[in-house]
Amino acid sequence: MSAAPADALFEPRIDARRRRSRLFAGACVAVAAFTMTVLAVLLIDIAHDGWPYLTRSFLTRYPSVLDPKSGGMLSGIAGSIWIVGLTALLAVPIGVGAAVWLEEYAPQNRLTRFIRLNIANLAGVPSIVYGILGLAIFVRWLHLGRSVAAGALTMTLLVLPVVIIASREALAAVPNSIRQAAYALGATRWQTVRSHVLPAALPGIMTGVILSLSRAIGETAPLIMLGALTYVAFVPGGALSDYPSGAGGLLEWTQTALTDQFTAMPIQVFNWTSQPQKDFHDLAAAGIMALLGALLTMNAVAIGIRAWSQRTRT
Amino acid sequence: MPAIVRKTREGAIHAALFACAVVSILTTAAIVWVLVSESLGFFRHVPLADFLFGVRWAPLFEPRSFGVLPLVCGSLLVAGGALLIAVPIGLASAVFLSEYASPGVRQFAKPVLEILAGVPTVVYGYFALTFITPHVLQRLLPGTEIFNAASAAIVVGIMIIPTMSSLCDDAFRAVPRTLRDAAHGLAATKLEVSTRVVLPAAMSGVAAAGLLALARAIGETMAVTLAAGMTPKLTFNPLTSVQTLTSYIVQVSLGDTPHGTIEYQTIFAVGLTLFAITLTINLAAQRVIRRFREAYE
């Protein structure tokens, strides 16, 4: 058996391989394009179904059990605003505080590592499990009932890991030289954090916070677990004008709102979608458009903050 | 400011910040405590073996039966189908983003992909029920039921594409430029560099991405509840209605179940099962990243 010449063993087949590479690139582009097409189809389908129902009165009316044509989502919009507003009030200070501790204060020991691991795992806990937690702790144990307060507390626990992770990333991006400069001038740790690190990290923190709150707007499962109602013909607290004017009336209104039952935008969408009639489905599509509109607004604000901070920093 | 005041204030602030961090530990402890303590009540009535290995789930009507396998099977059917969609599409998108796309295309394509993860899951449920099932599945496969596992798997798959593509993209970009340059220097094509150099080097990241996407798919609730229906069934036929762990929990909480009854306690037993499964997968993902990461200087 004679040995084959060396260049016959080695076949570069460079043209065929290049062709295959280009083909693969084409397939990748096709896949990416397919994904975007799906997104487009989803939006067009929803807009097509929901547009006729998305009127001014849809946004300012209460839902109707019997007649889809006269249904609205006022109580859902009000409920969502209350829940997300309260969630922001609770989750932002706690989340940013925890992130500051982890990034600026925490010693390198087992406790710190455990807390970090724990936060990463909490971010992966299904949202419905937070709903079960809220049902057992806030609704039953603390006797808050199926109230706005219970909903907001549950939502706070749900978004906290996301807020902490986003804030930590923003804090970690602050250059160390800023901290060293502050320490060199005799600032204490808190003075350094408050006056130098936090302001530098603020745009990043705000972007992350807004994105995690926009997640809270769309969350349905935990609120259903808490027993948020599907038909609610009032807004939490009722009309502010029914209360005496001044701080006392405002306080009373807030107290009533916190203990009131509620519904939220995604819950109404869920409820309408689970009805068999086509009219209710179209109403759900209109509700989805309102929901996506709220999300889009929040994301636009987040992008705006990022762009603004990049402009002012340079 | 006197030193003593300053020192006290610093200490108080430190303590307050630490308290914020401790909230996360309390949350985990509360989740475990709630799930375990309420499940204990359930397991006083139902033997653990009957729950784990029973093949019939009928807790709400007589004759009752508390075998969780049909729910686990439903969850796996939907999540498995979702991975079949998300893994190839997510991987291809990540290869495209990290190896082929110009910075301009990347800057546009990445946020668009992320939108898919930002859409509320109830919206995907609507899409599955009113578009994918009647206009796609029932046209192609006329025997498809109105509620079916396939439509749920499709929308959950779409929803977790960004998880897959973002994490894989990060893993690919962590592979050093020099490895690619060396392969290109040996006349490798872009495809060969992607599949034989970058992909093996980033394998731990890709595996972790797959696991995290799987955990998300199993925990997904609203889209699955709307699209897959409420029929607990031990089946692998994706064209029929199934019930998942998550959609069972929703079903019970939508009804009027009195506190303290065994129906009420099933929420916690099923919730504990769900929590255990997703936690195991998440921990496995973290372990894969730590153990098998190729470290480059």
Residue A101 with chain B: CB contacts under 8 Å: 14, 17-18, 20-21
Q: Is residue B149 part of a domain?
A: yes
Give the distance from CA A263 to its chain's centroid.
Answer: 18
A195-211 residue pLDDT tens: 999 999 988 898 888 88
CATH code at position B278: 1.10.3720.10
B34 touches chain A (CB under 8 A): yes
- Is the predicted pLDDT of residue B79 greater than 90, yes or no? yes
Q: Is residue B59 part of a domain?
A: no
Task: Give me chain B's average pLDDT, please.
Answer: 89
Residue A73 with chain B: CB contacts under 8 Å: none
Residue that is written with structure tokens 């971010």 in the block = A123
Q: Is residue B51 part of a domain?
A: no
Q: Please check whether residues B127 and B201 belong to one and the same domain.
A: yes
Structure tokens at A14: 């460079």
| Residue B142: per-residue pLDDT | 87
B18 touches chain A (CB under 8 A): yes
A243-258 residue pLDDT tens: 888 788 888 888 888 8
Task: Give the C-alpha separation, B270 to B268, whole Å.
Answer: 5
Give the one of A105, A122, A220 whose C-beta lies nearest to B122's C-beta.
Answer: A220
Burial class (CB in 10 A: 0-12, 13-18, 19+), B2: exposed
A58-87 residue pLDDT tens: 887 787 767 777 778 888 898 999 999 999
Task: Give the C-alpha separation, B99 to B175, whole Å.
Answer: 11
Evaluate whether A298 touches A217 at the Cβ level (below 8 Å): yes
Residue B254 with chain A: CB contacts under 8 Å: 224
Give the one of B123, B271, B283 whose C-beta lies nearest to A132's C-beta.
Answer: B271
Question: Positive or negative CA dihedral for A296, A297, A300, A306?
Answer: negative
Q: Please check whether residues B23 and B126 belong to one and the same domain.
A: no
Q: Please check whether residues B78 and B21 belong to one and the same domain.
A: no
Distance (Å) from the alpha carbon of B53 to chain A's nearest alpha carbon: 23
Domain range enclosing B154: 65-292
Q: Please check whether residues B109 and B31 belong to one and the same domain.
A: no
The pTM for the full model equals 0.90
Residue B109 with chain A: CB contacts under 8 Å: 32
DSSP A140-183: IIS---SBHHHHHHHHHHHHHHHHHHHHHHHHHTS-HHHHHHHH
For residues A239 and B1, the model is more confident at A239
Q: Please check whether residues B147 and B187 belong to one and the same domain.
A: yes
Q: What is the mean pLDDT of residues A13-21?
A: 87
In three-state form (DSSP H/G/I as H, E/B as E, the rest C), the secondary structure along chain B is: CCHHHHHHHHHHHHHHHHHHHHHHHHHHHHHHHHHHHHHHHHHHHCCHHHHHHCCCEECCCCCCEECCHHHHHHHHHHHHHHHHHHHHHHHHHHHHHHHHCCHHHHHHHHHHHHHHHHCCHHHHHHHHHHHHHHHHHHHHCCCCCCCCHHHHHHHHHHHHHHHHHHHHHHHHHCCCHHHHHHHHHCCCCHHHHHHHHHHHHCHHHHHHHHHHHHHHHHHCCHHHHHHHCCCCCCCCCCCCCCCCHHHHHHHHHHCCCCCCCHHHHHHHHHHHHHHHHHHHHHHHHHHHHHHHCCCCC
Q: Please check whether residues B40 and B143 belong to one and the same domain.
A: no
Q: Please check whether residues B111 and B41 belong to one and the same domain.
A: no
Q: Please check whether residues B145 and B240 belong to one and the same domain.
A: yes
| Residue A94: per-residue pLDDT | 96
Q: Please check whether residues B23 and B144 belong to one and the same domain.
A: no
| Residue A162: per-residue pLDDT | 92
For residues B159 and B233, the model is more confident at B159
Give the one of A117, A124, A129 whose C-beta lies nearest to B31's C-beta.
Answer: A129
- Is the predicted pLDDT of residue A1 greater than 50, yes or no? no
A22-61 residue pLDDT tens: 898 888 888 878 888 888 999 999 999 888 888 887 887 7
- Is the predicted pLDDT of residue B151 greater than 50, yes or no? yes
Share of chain A above pLDDT 90, in %: 42
| Residue B105: per-residue pLDDT | 85
Task: Give the C-alpha separation, A52 to B13, whole Å.
Answer: 54
Count of structural domains within chain B: 2
CATH number for the domain running over A54-313: 1.10.3720.10
Q: Please check whether residues B38 and B83 belong to one and the same domain.
A: no
Interface ipTM = 0.92
Q: Helix, strand, or coil here: A1?
A: coil
Contact between B119 and A218 using a beta-carbon 8 Å cutoff: yes
Q: Is residue B58 part of a domain?
A: no
Cα Rg for chain A, rounded, in angstroms?
A: 26
Distance (Å) from the alpha carbon of B165 to chain A's nearest alpha carbon: 10
B289 touches chain A (CB under 8 A): no
Q: Please check whether residues B104 and B13 belong to one and the same domain.
A: no
Share of chain B above pLDDT 90, in %: 54
For residues A90 and A4, the model is more confident at A90
Contact between A225 and B189 using a beta-carbon 8 Å cutoff: no
Task: Give the C-alpha separation, B75 to B276, whole Å.
Answer: 14
Give the one of B30, B93, B221 whose C-beta lies nearest to A32's C-beta.
Answer: B93
Cis peptide before B63 (omega within 30 of 0): yes
- Is the predicted pLDDT of residue A136 greater than 60, yes or no? yes
A-contacting residues in B 200-229 (Cβ below 8 Å) = 212, 215-216, 218-222, 225-226
| Residue A5: per-residue pLDDT | 57
Distance (Å) from the alpha carbon of A254 to chain B's nearest alpha carbon: 25
Which residues contact residue B28 at a Cβ distance below 8 angstroms, ignoring those fewer than 6 apart?
Answer: A118, A121, A122
Contact between B88 and A31 using a beta-carbon 8 Å cutoff: yes
Interface with chain A: mutation pick from B24, B31, B218, B253, highest number of A CBs within 10 Å: B24
Q: Please check whether residues B103 and B214 belong to one and the same domain.
A: yes
Q: Is residue B254 part of a domain?
A: yes
